[in-house]
Chains A and B, each alone.
Chain A
Amino acid sequence: MTELRYSLAREFARDPGPRYKKQGPNSGEAFRAVLRDLLGRGGIVRINLDGTSGIGSSFLDEAFGGLIFAEGMQASDVLARIKLESSDDETYILDIMESIEKAQKQKKY
């Protein structure tokens, strides 16, 4: 299975922004479109979260949780296809996992 590597800081933005595009540049919504595109190429997508100036929880929620609540994916598919790396600050991975779980729960009920 092919594996794509993507660095949030180098290839998207060093300073990730708000949740929605209308709120400002480098939004979680815009990053979700990038993720959707990367996933569309097939295989596993490995996202590196190191090197940014700081990421808000709403950005992460919209980008990763949004794959479930806005793009209609299943949490199991997202977890199987997207691998996260954050050696500097591992709390981002916890944030993303929580967003994915929450989005999946809300989808069920």
Chain B
Amino acid sequence: MPGEKSFSVEGTFAGLPLSLDVAAPPAKGFFDLSVYAPAAPGVIVALAGLYIAHHLTRSRERAKAIGDVCEKLKELTDSAVQSAVDAWEAPPGADRLAKVRTAKRLIQKVGTSATALRNRSGRRGKWNSRFCKQSEIDILQLVSDLRRAATADPFEDPERDADSSRSNNILSAGTIIQTAIDRQYHDKFG
């Protein structure tokens, strides 16, 4: 405690009073970091825990969102494949022209969704997008293969006969897309 206290000692200085002044410790202000130093490790650990929890939640939400897009893309591929098969098997006439247009439109929707999925599933940030291309879900080449299988000559020739011989190739191209989506999704998110 600060203040003044007197007491006696033995020997040469026996009988002489000895005074000791105990100075008060310097007052610590609000901005003095040493006040908080003992709590720092705890705060750091808590912040790290919050960051990790936030990061894991965000990763789970992202995986789920991309999983939903993958499922929709697989359904869309089914529709496009079926539509192309229908168009090939339709007899000549106005009805077939409508089916041909529907098939082309649905294949384009598959391509649009596949492009969006690739862009969305890639790593974020300039560094990551430059060096981590393998982490994208990229089925663009397979969609191009589907378009070639589905709309190759003489798909749009108004005079061609109904043709069911192309169905297997188109169905196969669709299955390859769906398998690739599943495989790449599981490679990425486990």
User: Which of A's residues lie within 8 Å of B, judged by CB?
Assistant: 15, 17-19, 23-24, 52-59, 87-92, 94-95, 98
User: Which of B's residues lie within 8 Å of A, judged by CB?
Assistant: 100-101, 103-108, 111-112, 114-115, 118, 140-141, 143-144, 147-148, 151-153, 155-158
Residues of the A chain whose Cβ atoms lie less than 8 Å from the Cβ of B158? 18, 23-24
Q: Are B156 and A19 within 8 A (Cβ)?
A: yes
Residues of the A chain whose Cβ atoms lie less than 8 Å from the Cβ of B114? 89, 91
The number of A-B residue pairs with CB atoms under 8 Å apart is 73
Give the dominant DSSP class at B's interface: helix
Q: Are B115 and A57 within 8 A (Cβ)?
A: no
Q: How far is the CA of A98 from the CA of B118 in the complex (A)?
A: 20
> Which listed residue, A55, A58, A92, touches B155 by the CB 8 Å rule?
A58
Given contacts A24-B156, A55-B108, whether A89 and B115 have CB atoms under 8 Å apart is yes
A sample of 17 inter-chain contacts (CB < 8 A) reads: A17-B156, A18-B157, A18-B158, A19-B153, A23-B156, A24-B158, A53-B101, A55-B104, A56-B104, A56-B147, A57-B147, A89-B111, A89-B115, A90-B115, A91-B143, A91-B147, A95-B144
Residues of the B chain whose Cβ atoms lie less than 8 Å from the Cβ of A57? 147-148, 151-152
Give the dominant DSSP class at A's interface: loop
Q: How far is the CA of A88 from the CA of B141 in the complex (A)?
A: 15
Residues of the B chain whose Cβ atoms lie less than 8 Å from the Cβ of A23? 156-158
Residues of the A chain whose Cβ atoms lie less than 8 Å from the Cβ of B153? 19, 58
Given contacts A19-B153, A23-B158, whether A94 and B140 have CB atoms under 8 Å apart is yes
Q: How far is the CB of B166 from chain A (nearest CB, A)?
A: 13
Question: Can you name 17 extra interface pairs (CB under 8 A) apart from A89-B114, A91-B140?
Answer: A18-B157, A19-B153, A19-B157, A53-B105, A54-B104, A54-B105, A54-B106, A56-B104, A57-B151, A57-B152, A58-B152, A58-B153, A88-B111, A91-B141, A91-B143, A91-B144, A95-B148
